[in-house]
Structure 1
């Protein structure tokens, strides 16, 4: 099982209402990017415990391994290389087709803050294995409730 991970809005929350600053976490690893301190480092062990192949699906590309993986206590992860391609069909996220292609026939989970029903419908039509497209609220990032939803889905499909 593959778990595609976005960073902005998924691991790094943004857009909190005024007057509600994000906590700044600390680890033994000094962050290379100050926004990384918004990521709860406890997410690393929780994600690893899901038993999936973790794959970066983010515009951070290799910076995800330099900045975020050490913060979370994760080893370097594979990175989806985004192809230079035409615009996707209307309403479809630009990541959707490349992630389905990357997964091949393997089951996958995609965690992102920009997933829509159009993406779910396209994946249901074009991917022949189990797939969970889980949308995270960008104001909060990945929460324990989100992780619970992933664990529940993996119990059935993993």
Structure 2
């Protein structure tokens, strides 16, 4: 699948933004949610994501499982998936030094110069700063509270930004 086009990308994390943890997070160490977490998936999120003026991309440790388990429940088509490379020792040290999220470099490379939004529950100012220096196009890194997931306000912020990107 080609990654070139005019529309901005929206990189979507699953655990936290789509599967909120509530007040007592209990993450599965494999990077996927248990069946109880799947019950927290709001099927109305799918049409809301699809209505945004962007190309959706899974940016999650679920990788292809997001298309198998989540896309049908959300009424979404099969989406492109970011496959995470093995981290290099040099990048790991540098990322730790700068306080970067382990996804940041890969998402900038995947965007390949296209404007993008990224929703995740672990984004920090260090990621925003790094992207602003290393990505030639517009980008918004939007942190979502893992306890509540994507909210109406998050969709307002994303829609407004995507309309201008």
RMSD of aligned Cα (Å): 1.6
Q: 8 Å contact 2:120–2:143 — kept in the other structure?
A: yes
TM (norm. structure 2) is: 0.83
Q: Helix, strand or coil: the match of 1:99?
A: helix
- What is the match of residue 66 of structure 2? 64
* 1:9 maps to which of 16, 25, 33: 16
Q: 8 Å contact 1:56–1:79 — kept in the other structure?
A: yes
Q: Number of residue pairs matched?
A: 144
Q: 8 Å contact 1:33–1:67 — kept in the other structure?
A: no
- Mapped to 1, the partners of 2:22 and 2:53 lie a distance apart of 31
Q: How far apart are residue 51 of structure 1 and its match?
A: 2.3
Q: Where does structure 1 lack aligned partners over 5 or more consecutive residues?
A: 19-31
- Mapped to 2, the partners of 1:47 and 1:16 lie a distance apart of 24
- Mapped to 2, the partners of 1:51 and 1:78 lie a distance apart of 16
- What is the match of residue 26 of structure 1? none
TM (norm. structure 1) is: 0.87
Q: 8 Å contact 2:21–2:37 — kept in the other structure?
A: no
Runs of 4+ off more than 2 Å:
none
Structure 1 residues 34 and 70: alpha-carbon distance in aligned structure 2, compared to 1, 3 A threshold: farther
Q: Where does structure 2 lack aligned partners over 5 or more consecutive residues?
A: 1-7, 26-33
- Mapped to 2, the partners of 1:100 and 1:106 lie a distance apart of 9
Matched, 1:99 2:101: no
- What is the match of residue 47 of structure 2? 45
Q: Helix, strand or coil: the match of 1:38?
A: coil
